[in-house]
Amino acid sequence: METQQLHRGRLIDHLQLVTPDLEASRRFYGAVLEALGVPIGGEAERFFWADELFVSAVDSIAAQGRATGRCHLAFQARDRVMVEAFHKAGLAAERSASPWKTASILLPSGSSRKAA
């Protein structure tokens, strides 16, 4: 992995989510991040990352055997068209989604993801 540059105006350097179903997470994040114009940065057998988001399998060394609890993430979208694309991609990748126009998607784990 390459060294990251310091970007002022960002509060978080990176975020790790731990999932019991890495394949479902790859499908979901691959779809919604593509809609936001953010490519998957890389992956290995038990994790993947995109920009500052890292997603690990619950049995990966980094996870320490515990899945992330319920959390709410809001991704930046350039415009309303991108929000709608995020919502459509999330619906296609997941079983349930919120009808709110902020494109909030409720995951089976109880966590939610949003583009606004």
Q: Residue 39: which CATH number? A: 3.10.180.10
**Edge-to-edge strands, sheet with 104-106:** 72-75, 112-115, 104-106
Q: pTM of the full predicted structure?
A: 0.74
Domain containing residue 95: 15-60+70-115
Which whole number is the average pLDDT over 34-46?
94
The H-or-E segment that residue 112 falls in is strand 112-115
Pairing of strands 53-57, 15-19: parallel
Distance CA 96, CA 116 (A): 18
Flag whether 87 is in a domain. yes
Flag whether 1 is in a domain. no
Flag whether 79 is in a domain. yes
pLDDT in tens, 69-107: 888 888 888 898 998 998 899 888 875 444 444 556 666
Residue 1's pLDDT band (cuts 50, 70, 90): low
Flag whether 84 is in a domain. yes
Q: What percent of the chain has pLDDT over 90?
A: 35
Flag whether 38 is in a domain. yes
Task: Domain count for the chain, please give it.
Answer: 1
